[in-house]
């Protein structure tokens, strides 16, 4: 409740009694809209990751994005039995990962952007829509590339994710045994 009140204060929609009924109605509508937006945002965020097994992770690196991209592409090519490069450009990498044990296929997408740091947004999803919810394979298929390429050793390396962004990330036990 404290966060909601703070959000209302930030947006300037805390209700104040006023002598002008039309102003009061406008503030009431803003509060109602904010409530609806918060509820819709919470339910859609929660429902996106859990049932489908989709995974989204954000990584930050001190290196230039061109170097990060080069390392990821090189690592994908170094593990041809389980990874396949589908396409790449200076801002995007698409690949697949095939599990050696279950033969399930994960589609991987990495978007790269440079400001002070190189920001990489990685998304992974099971290729077949009928597959059960992910138990960490989507997360591991991306994280193993980060570890195998040595990008996790970047001095400004940071990973951002949670269960609502990436189901299974909190219980995944990633091994790089190929």
pLDDT in tens, the chain (178 residues): 333 333 334 334 334 445 655 555 444 444 434 434 444 443 333 333 444 578 999 999 999 999 999 999 999 999 999 999 999 999 999 999 999 888 999 999 999 999 999 999 999 998 765 555 567 899 999 999 999 999 999 999 999 999 999 988 999 999 876 5
**Edge-to-edge strand ranges of the sheet holding 55-61:** 83-88, 92-98, 105-114, 118-126, 55-61, 158-160
Residues 126 and 110 placed together within one structural domain of the fold = yes
Residues 59 and 121 placed together within one structural domain of the fold = yes
Amino acid 127: pLDDT:
79
Question: Which domain range does residue 140 map to?
Answer: 54-160
Amino acid 64: pLDDT:
97
Does residue 146 fall inside a structural domain? Answer: yes
Residues 22 and 82 placed together within one structural domain of the fold = no
Does residue 174 fall inside a structural domain? Answer: no
CB 8 within 8 A of CB 35: no
Does residue 117 fall inside a structural domain? Answer: yes
Place of tokens 């009928």: 130
State the pTM of this model: 0.69
Residues 75 and 128 placed together within one structural domain of the fold = yes
Does residue 101 fall inside a structural domain? Answer: yes
Report the number of distinct structural domains present in the chain.
Answer: 2
Give CA–CA dist 37/141, Å, rounded: 34
Does residue 16 fall inside a structural domain? Answer: yes
Does residue 170 fall inside a structural domain? Answer: no
CB 120 within 8 A of CB 68: yes
Tokens of 76: 């994908």
Residues 61 and 143 placed together within one structural domain of the fold = yes
Angle between helix axes 137-148 and 65-78 (nearest 10 degrees) is 110
Residues 31 and 70 placed together within one structural domain of the fold = no
Amino acid 176: pLDDT:
76
Amino acid 117: pLDDT:
97
Amino acid 178: pLDDT:
58
Give CA–CA dist 87/72, Å, rounded: 12
CB 60 within 8 A of CB 117: yes
Does residue 34 fall inside a structural domain? Answer: yes
Amino acid 167: pLDDT:
86
């Amino acid at each position: 409740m404290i966060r909601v009140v703070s959000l209302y204060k930030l947006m300037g929609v805390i209700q104040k009694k006023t002598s002008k009924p039309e102003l009061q109605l406008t503030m009431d509508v803003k509060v109602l809209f904010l409530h609806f937006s918060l509820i819709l945002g919470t339910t859609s965020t929660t429902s996106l990751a859990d049932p489908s097994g989709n995974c989204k992770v954000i990584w930050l690196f001190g290196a230039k994005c061109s170097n990060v991209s080069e390392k990821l592409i090189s690592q994908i090519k170094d593990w041809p039995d389980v990874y396949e490069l589908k396409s790449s450009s200076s801002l995007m990498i698409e690949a697949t990962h095939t599990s050696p044990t279950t033969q399930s296929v994960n589609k991987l997408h990495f978007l790269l952007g440079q400001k002070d740091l190189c920001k990489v947004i990685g998304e992974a999803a099971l290729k077949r829509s009928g597959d059960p919810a992910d138990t960490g394979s989507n997360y591991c298929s991306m994280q193993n590339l980060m570890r195998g390429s040595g990008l996790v050793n970047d001095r400004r390396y940071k990973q951002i994710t949670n269960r609502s962004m990436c189901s299974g990330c909190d219980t995944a036990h990633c091994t790089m045994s190929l």
